[in-house]
Structure formats: structure tokens, C-alpha cells
Amino acid sequence: MNQPFKLSTNFEIYSDPDFSLKAKHITDTIVLNIAIYPMPVPSVASIVALWNTFNTMLAKAENGSTLDTDNKNLARHNLEVQLKLLGNNYVIPIAGNDKIKIQQSGFDYTGGETTPKTQHPAPASFEVKPTTTQAVANLEQSAQEDTRVYMWQYIEVPTDGVIPPASAAWKYAFSTKAKITITGLTSEKAYFFKAASYAIEAAINWSNMVRYMVQ
């Protein structure tokens, strides 16, 4: 017998960088679906403020002291608490067991006809499609079964040409399809891009990095 769909707030399975991505995905998705979730409690602004603090602490802890790591862990805890309040006290009363409404909140779900038990591997293929359009990049990765969301990260190539660490100011995008057009890039600048897909409550495996010069 199929289990009903249920919203999940199990953030403990995420690494710090992946938890940062997930938290941002939730706030972005809630804002995108304001007609369904018009007055979030806690507010999106308060959660974004905690997310910013967590990212700042995460960067400091990269090569920092034990105190920096403790501060990062506290910042993550504070962010997790507010996201769980948002999910359990605000989203669930609206979404119930409706799979679509849960997805429209950005939260994970469990149950239903198929519940993937293993994490997705890194995409079998990932490329930046050449284009003559300025300030954009067309990204495409191989599609995977049971994908809840496709994810993309990108950042300008630094002057030393070295790939920045996970705690750097990577930007991200999400889509329901295995391809996306990233806009608002800087023309004649090189970027690093990577891609992944997400199933449910599992680690995220990123593709190899692709370097691309934006037109």
C-alpha cells in the first residue's frame, strides 16, 4: 500500500554546502509561490538573514579556528530550527499531503508511489552549449529518474584560475528540467559551472567542473 506524501524537514543528511543550497531553494520557492504561501511564518526575510549568517560563518570555518567551527554549527542550528518551524507550522497546514503543494514550498517529501532510497550519482554528462547570445550560458546535464530538482552552481574564474572552495560565493540555479539558461552573466568573462540532480534525503553528487568563456 502506498504511503501518503509527507513534508520532510530532515536537514541533518545534508553537508554544510548542500544545506545552504537547500535552504536557499526553500526560500526562493516560497517567494515564487506567494499565491499559495502568502504570509510565511517565520518570515522569508528572517530566514534569509539567518542563511546569510550561516554562509558567513561557513566561509570563516573553512580554514579557521575551533571557535569558528562552533559559530558555524550554531548558525546552522539556528537556520535549521527556523526552517523546521516554517515547514511544520506553516507549510504543512496549507499543503497537507498534497505532493504538488509540498514541492511548491521547496521542502522535500517522503512517501507516495516511489520513494528513492539511494542518492543520485553525478550526472553522466554535463556541458555548456555554445551560444552567440551575450551574457548568458546554456547548461544541460543528463536527465535522471526520480529527480525532484536539477541544480546548477557557477562562479567567475578568479585571477589565479584555481577552482574556488565550496564556501566561496558560488551562485546557484534550480530547474525542473535537465537544462537551463543562466542570464545576467558578465560578457567576456570565464566562469566555472557544475551540475547535479536531487532525489530525496541523500547526499548531492556534483558533476565535473566546466570552464566556459561567456560571450
pLDDT tens digits, residue range 80-96?
999 999 999 999 999 98
Position 199 pLDDT exceeds 80: no
Reported as a single tens digit per residue, the pLDDT across 28-85 is: 999 999 999 999 999 999 999 999 999 999 999 988 899 999 999 999 999 999 999 9
Percentage of the chain lying above the pLDDT 70 cut: 93
Q: What is the pLDDT of residue 175?
A: 84
- Evaluate whether 123 touches 207 at the Cβ level (below 8 Å): yes
Grid coordinates of 180: 537551463
Domains of the chain, with CATH numbers? 3-112 (no CATH), 126-213 (2.60.40.10)
Q: What is the pLDDT of residue 145?
A: 79
Reported as a single tens digit per residue, the pLDDT across 145-164 is: 777 788 899 999 999 999 99
Alpha carbon distance 23, 42 (integer Å): 13
Question: What pTM was computed for the model?
Answer: 0.60
- Evaluate whether 138 touches 179 at the Cβ level (below 8 Å): yes
Q: Region 153-180: what's the mean pLDDT?
A: 89
- Residues paired with residue 198 on neighbouring β-strands, in sequence order: 149
